[in-house]
Structure 1
């Protein structure tokens, strides 16, 4: 087996895909950016990503990928439900965006070989986003921690919400820690990335991202315990530190976790349960039940759905639920069948993080950062292409024994 050389342009394409998933709606920024301008930038990034991916893969060479195949099938209920225009022409625009996103992943699949190249692309891009958030915090701390978000950290230079920042920070921390355990990055480099990312994560007060980070790391490092002494040492120290923190800082941790909410509000998942009950109680036609109502803005009656599963059910129906479930089951099953390795551990972290976050975050049914995380997991689980057989040298005839010439 041999690793495929990845052109530098592929890293640019991956960064453009990440830029496209940043979104255009969120907090108020220092300089009021028109939403149309932000949408032009993010959609332009996706078009550029597809064009560059096509330029470096003109021969249209793809790697077999069950993940991208299921994503392609997800376009079927998305288009069928969107052509009725129940949610407006924006549904068809979102379908075109999803199609370009999936098409770019097909073009990039040529370089999916189970290596860590795309992990480095992922960490660099999202750490750059976190640096932008930190810069906004320094330039305008009042704008970066507004009262209408309860003093939680938002993007002051680009409209990013606390859950978005928490998600990016958690993924950057998790992948960097795993690279450190696998000795693919030195301690100084890991500290430079992990410490500021952890501070930003805590400032967002994002419970879903924090729990996803902790559970994902436990599962990922646990998959390396039997084969890596470094993983065993890290796991042991993490258990000791977590136990001490739970005893010494229990009151502070509880206050941070509740975010000043009442017990009733916390049990209702910050009002999400009411929206979920209303969505599930709405009568639907057979077509809406199977194919959904079309790709929308992941809201119901003007309120955010805040659940990938209910958003997929609402917009892409039961067929969409089956396909999204298949994506997670296929990736999880393949990860369990692979032998222990650092790429497998990174994939387990990403899959478990996305699965846990899907309960209170949207993104599994449309072009989003969550699908990009899962695409990274699929690249890590890909089997390297076999090395080409060496050419057989031509032997001059006079060097061939006489008995072999007959």
Structure 2
């Protein structure tokens, strides 16, 4: 009998994961080639979440769930969200319902979280399919895909995706595919088909956060494999060599790419984000607003995007929300550090590192978002397979005692 017993994952689970990804794509972004009303986009995104929950419920009719500190903490995050959203009306409560459906779907999927790479493949295929639509929009209308409104950066021309969104998807795909290549779970040709076009798209988005998150996440993930993987050591050596040559020979080009035509003062102020952050922190708040926040909103303050997960959570879910989000990251990080070296652990470290770094200039950790989906993927990788339930020992037949023996025993 095997020591561990992994529950077979139905193929439809991949569809549920895809629907969750569609829901987190958002409804605000660049102008598309074919105008899409905001109501239609919201119908698609919210409809995908409802469909994901319904399909997950159909696949898990027995409501089997596995204990998960990650999903439990997300469930607790609903408490300050609902309490604060009661005072802002239907919009905040609607967003709370969306978060509740998202967390409920994760609970239903948790019975298939077995520490394997199954969900990693779902993740890569899902976002690669999204990037195919980005490339299609670039081919159909280069002007709409790289508009002057975004400084000539790549956007979604068929579906309204912003440059940071595309940069995030490409960075996550590249990082996971590189780790699969290092772990010899994918051949070089298949890896090149994914990595090379994604690198081109990442360069066209000029997304600094995604680039830094990709590089830092890969360094930490591959370092976790150095003691147990010769392939990781070779890759790390070549990566250091290439990075050194690029830093010496192409320093001016790299600097120009990072500056994106901005002056150093604008660059150091994080493209004007710091002004919004200072205004948010200086705004007067009641005691209830400090602890529970002002309710789930559109992650903006004074009509401008907050672009910082921690400040967005503080604004909408208060200090309680910040504590719970920090607990999510600390729990996942601690579990990853305690696991023995493996490819699955390396992928989880990459995802956690990427989300932590991105949280400084991107919002989303307090609501249903791609960042929570990345962390959910890390949770699937860190889950331990369910132990097999031993079968009861078969009852042995009772030996028949001869009659003369029973009579002698009685006498």
Q: TM-score range by the shorter chain?
A: over 0.9
| Residue 49 of structure 1 pairs with residue 47 of structure 2 | no
Task: Give the Cα separation in 2 of the matches to 1:279 and 1:361.
Answer: 15
* 2:214 aligned with 1:213: yes
- SS for the counterpart of 2:341 is coil
What SS is found at the alignment partner of 1:356?
helix
Q: Residue 247 of structure 1: CA displacement?
A: 1.0
Instruction: Report what 1:24 is aligned to.
Output: 27
Residues 275-320 of structure 1: CA distance to partner in whole angstroms, max 9, x if unpaired? 0000000000011010000000000010000000000000000000
Deviation at 1:176, TM superposition (A): 0.5
Match status 1:65 vs 2:68: yes
CA contact (8 A) 1:3 1:115 kept: no
Q: What SS is found at the alignment partner of 2:66?
A: coil
Displacement, 1:3?
Answer: 2.5
Residue in structure 2 matched with residue 152 of structure 1 by the alignment: 153
Report which of the two structures shows the higher radius of gyration computed on alpha carbons.
Answer: 2
Q: For the aligned residues, what is the CA RMSD?
A: 1.3
Alpha-carbon distance between aligned partners in 1 of 2:389 and 2:320, rounded to the nearest angstrom = 41
2:280 corresponds to? 279
After TM superposition, list the pairs within 5 Å mapping 1:9-158 onto structure 2: 9-85=12-88, 88-158=89-159
Q: For residue 178 of structure 2, what is the aligned residue in structure 1? A: 177
Give the Cα–Cα distance (whole angstroms) in 2 for the partners of residues 90 and 260 of structure 1.
Answer: 38
**Offset at 1:9?**
1.2
TM (normalized to structure 1)? 0.96
SS at match of 1:322: helix
Q: Is 2:390 the counterpart of 1:389?
A: yes
Residue number in structure 2 paired with 1:403: none
Q: CA deviation at 1:220?
A: 0.3
Structure 1: segments with no counterpart, 5+ residues: 401-405
Q: Report the CA distance shift for 1:245/1:398 in structure 2 as closer, same or farther (over 3 A).
A: same
| TM-score, normalisation: structure 2 | 0.95
Give the match for residue 168 of structure 2: 167
Aligned to 2:346: 345
Q: Aligned residue for 1:197?
A: 198
Q: 2: CA distance between counterparts of 1:132 and 1:229?
A: 37
Equivalent residues of 1:118, 1:376 under 8 A apart: yes
Deviation at 1:397, TM superposition (A): 5.0
